[in-house]
Amino acid sequence: MHESKSDASRPRSRTSSLLLRGLLVVAAVILVSGLGGSFGRARAADIAAPVGSEMAARELNDLKSQLESARGELAVAKLQVERANAIMDYSRRYQVPADLSSAIYDIALSEGIDPSLGFRLVRVESNFILKAHSNKNAIGYTQIRPATARFYSPDISEEKLFDRETNLRLGFRFLKDLMRRYNSNLELALLAYNRGPGTVDQIVAEGGNPTNGYEDAVLRGYRSKPAPATIN
């Protein structure tokens, strides 16, 4: 999963080379301008200096374009390294295979969920067991029920909910929708995920507290943080 140091440093090396090349071109421009001034009376020099300046200007514009491209490549390489490090860190922390860690991380981000929250949800719901199946017919990593899944995909089968990507995507999408419904109140969103939004709404409407400890189990040690940038 890790990129080698040599691979990650290539954009940085390219940027340094382009900067050095640019400095050489600027030095050449200064030299040409100085020569043009010293021999200003000579007609040949009067012609050569503007031509040299135009070539240097074109070279500088070309260097500018290449430098911007190299900076973009460096930014992408940095994101790739950060992603790889995060995936391996989650893999070690939760003792799960790297490919599962990668799936949870990437799908959580694509559905607008903090990956750290996504891992905590899957741990509490299924302990990272894809074939988990509760007596209430909750299925897979995110323990999503077929009735809930069919809200997003009307024709989905129970068998399809045992597919890793499908299960993670629908579970995280459901949680994201609940976060919107409860105005980013994560505790209520998690309780609705666990108990059902109808039950939570009824308890709150009656002035009660819907907590049952589920939200604490998911959020123990959790600190919300800005989502990482994605790689386009």
Catalytic residues: 125
Instruction: Say if residues 183 and 162 touch (Cβ distance below 8 Å).
Output: no
Contact between 119 and 145 under an 8 Å Cβ cutoff? The reply is: no
Burial bucket for residue 144 (CB in 10 Å: 0-12, 13-18, 19+): buried
Angle, CA of 40, 43 and 49, to the nearest 5°: 60
Cα separation, 130 vs 72, whole angstroms: 38
